[in-house]
């Protein structure tokens, strides 16, 4: 089944990683691909220690897409397509029961990951595979395919009062 965790609220990645922990705790193998994220996140540092979870490589630091120049966008897009291909290969080979595509929705909405690549993966993945996509603004093609959609809605956030993201809480 396909899960989408979306919205403008905090907790999309944390929710996806929570499901990954639950699956790994039950003996399932998990592949996590992250788009628009760097290696220095608390969830990533913790889940890397969990048996049965494979994290696909990401750069140490990643710029926000609106801060990237055309060359950086092209490199990011190429990396995202390779990550998706690697997750798809593992899924087709039966190497996992859960695939997490963290910030996939945002990578698609910013134009850095072609929607057709994602829908081809979703349409061709094994029936017994669980797939989680996170990020803001999921494309209609993703919403249409989803079995679960959970929207995190921001009601109040310290960032609105000028408090920057805090290590261990927001990242």
CB distance 133 to 36 below 8 Å: no
The confidence score (pLDDT) of residue 129 equals 97
CB distance 35 to 73 below 8 Å: no
CA 134/CA 80 separation, integer angstroms: 14
pLDDT band for 18, please (50, 70, 90 cuts).
Answer: very high
The confidence score (pLDDT) of residue 42 equals 86
pLDDT digits (tens, 9 = 90+) for 26-73: 999 999 999 999 998 889 999 999 999 999 999 888 888 888 899 999
CB distance 83 to 33 below 8 Å: yes
pLDDT at 171 over 90: no
The single residue listed with the structure tokens 């899924």 is: 91
Distance of CA 1 to the CA centre of its chain: 16
What is the domain partition of the chain in residue ranges?
Answer: 2-145
pLDDT at 169 over 90: no
pTM for this predicted structure: 0.94
Top CATH class, 2-145: alpha beta
Q: Enumerate the β-bridge partners of residue 148.
A: 3
pLDDT digits (tens, 9 = 90+) for 68-121: 899 999 999 999 999 999 999 999 999 999 999 999 999 999 999 999 999 999
The single residue listed with the structure tokens 């999309």 is: 12
CA triple 23-26-54, angle to 5 deg: 50
């Amino acid at each position: 089944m396909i899960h989408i965790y979306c919205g403008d609220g905090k907790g999309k990645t944390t929710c996806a990683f929570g499901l990954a922990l639950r699956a790994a705790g039950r003996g399932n193998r998990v592949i996590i691909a992250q788009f628009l994220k760097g290696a220095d996140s608390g969830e990533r540092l913790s889940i890397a220690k969990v048996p049965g979870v494979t994290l696909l490589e990401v750069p140490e630091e990643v710029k926000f897409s609106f801060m990237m120049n055309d060359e950086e966008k092209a490199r990011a897009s190429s990396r995202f397509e390779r990550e998706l291909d690697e997750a798809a290969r593992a899924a087709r080979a039966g190497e996992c029961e859960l695939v997490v595509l963290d910030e996939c929705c945002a990578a698609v909405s910013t134009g850095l990951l072609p929607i057709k690549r994602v829908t081809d993966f979703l349409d061709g993945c094994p029936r017994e595979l669980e797939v989680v996509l996170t990020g803001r603004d999921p494309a209609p093609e993703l919403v249409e395919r989803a079995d679960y959609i959970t929207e995190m809605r921001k009601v109040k956030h310290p960032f609105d009062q000028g408090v920057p993201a805090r290590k261990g809480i927001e990242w």
